[in-house]
Amino acid sequence: TQLLEQSPQFLSIQEGENLTVYCNSSSVFSSLQWYRQEPGEGPVLLVTVVTGGEVKKLKRLTFQFGDARKDSSLHITAAQPGDTGLYLCAGVMDAGNMLTFGGGTRLMVKP
Amino acid sequence: NAGVMQNPRHLVRRRGQEARLRCSPMKGHSHVYWYRQLPEEGLKFMVYLQKENIIDESGMPKERFSAEFPKEGPSILRIQQVVRGDSAAYFCASSPSTGVLSGNTIYFGEGSWLTVV
């Protein structure tokens, strides 16, 4: 059982569609981060959220941190083939000093 | 991301050999983290080090695996007597002196891919 559960694990959609990826936990996190990883490369940070209820937007990507700081979501509007990749959420627990990762959501956007 | 340097990028070892993976953190960063990623999975925490100290090794197997971050030089993840199950991508990350708990960003290297044949 993962501390951070991501859903769905796999998602295949057509270009132009919207999608939401979820990251859920029963634990409270002091901050939560979303990464995108391409094959053969390391994770690249997209955003960090630290305040319960916080919403951040990055072009077509909208990130939300749950009020209780236990969950987060990533919404992509009008997905493009360039959005294809592995999306990872990762959190820092209040008592820890390291990132704990979810299992990832593998997104494929077909042209 | 490019500031954290890992080498080798790809390493092939026969069962029973040793693998040494190196990580040079970003300039000015004194915290190093090692993560392992199996195919089609997320990253699993292995060990967290500061200069000359292991702070948390709760994710590292008790046998065959060791890590160090000496006063001078890169951090090294060492795997002795490798087995096929050790085949994975090993990622190093670094953060500034106060670590991620203070809200500092953690930066990842591009990984070292170990294949055990």
Dist. CA B33–CA B52, nearest whole Å: 13
Look at residue B105 in the predicted model and tell me its pLDDT. 76
Look at residue B104 in the predicted model and tell me its pLDDT. 67
Six token digits for residue B32: 């190093």
Contact B42 A106 (CB under 8 A): no
B56 touches chain A (CB under 8 A): yes
Dist. CA B83–CA B93, nearest whole Å: 24
Burial environment of residue B19 by CB neighbours within 10 A (0 to 12, 13 to 18, 19 or more) = buried
Look at residue B1 in the predicted model and tell me its pLDDT. 46
Look at residue B74 in the predicted model and tell me its pLDDT. 95
Contact B33 A98 (CB under 8 A): yes
Per-residue pLDDT tens digits of chain A, which is 111 residues long: 678 999 999 999 999 999 999 999 999 998 899 999 998 899 999 999 989 999 999 999 999 999 999 999 999 999 999 999 999 999 988 666 778 899 999 999 999
Nearest-neighbour CA in chain A from B88: distance (Å): 11
Dist. CA B106–CA B31, nearest whole Å: 9
Dist. CA B59–CA B43, nearest whole Å: 11
Average pLDDT over residues B89-93: 96
Rg, C-alpha atoms of chain A: 13
Look at residue A93 in the predicted model and tell me its pLDDT. 80
Look at residue B2 in the predicted model and tell me its pLDDT. 52
Considering only residues B78 and B28, tell me which one the structure prediction assigns the higher pLDDT. B78
B101 has a pLDDT exceeding 60:
no
Sign of CA dihedral B38, B49, B23, B82: negative
Nearest-neighbour CA in chain A from B64: distance (Å): 23
Dist. CA A26–CA A93, nearest whole Å: 11
B20 has a pLDDT exceeding 80:
yes
Residue with tokens 């634990």: A27
Nearest-by-CA chain A residue for B88: A40
Of the candidates A42, A100, A104, the beta carbon closest to that of B111 is on A42
Look at residue B99 in the predicted model and tell me its pLDDT. 61
Closest CA relative to residue B33, chosen from B104, B107, B88, B103? B107
Dist. CA B22–CA B8, nearest whole Å: 7
Average pLDDT over residues B1-23: 93
For residue B56, which residues of chain A lie inside 8 Å, CB to CB? 97-98
Give pLDDT tens digits for B49-73: 998 899 999 999 999 999 999 999 9
For residue B7, which residues of chain A lie inside 8 Å, CB to CB? none
Average pLDDT over residues B93-102: 72
Nearest-by-CA chain A residue for B39: A39
Contact A60, A101 (CB under 8 A): no
Contact B45 A90 (CB under 8 A): no
Nearest-by-CA chain B residue for A85: B40
Contacts of A1 (CB under 8 A, 6+ apart): none
Q: For testing the chain B interface, which of A97, A100, A105 should be mutated: the one with the most B CBs within 10 Å?
A: A97
Contact A104, A64 (CB under 8 A): no
The single-letter DSSP state of residue B23 is E
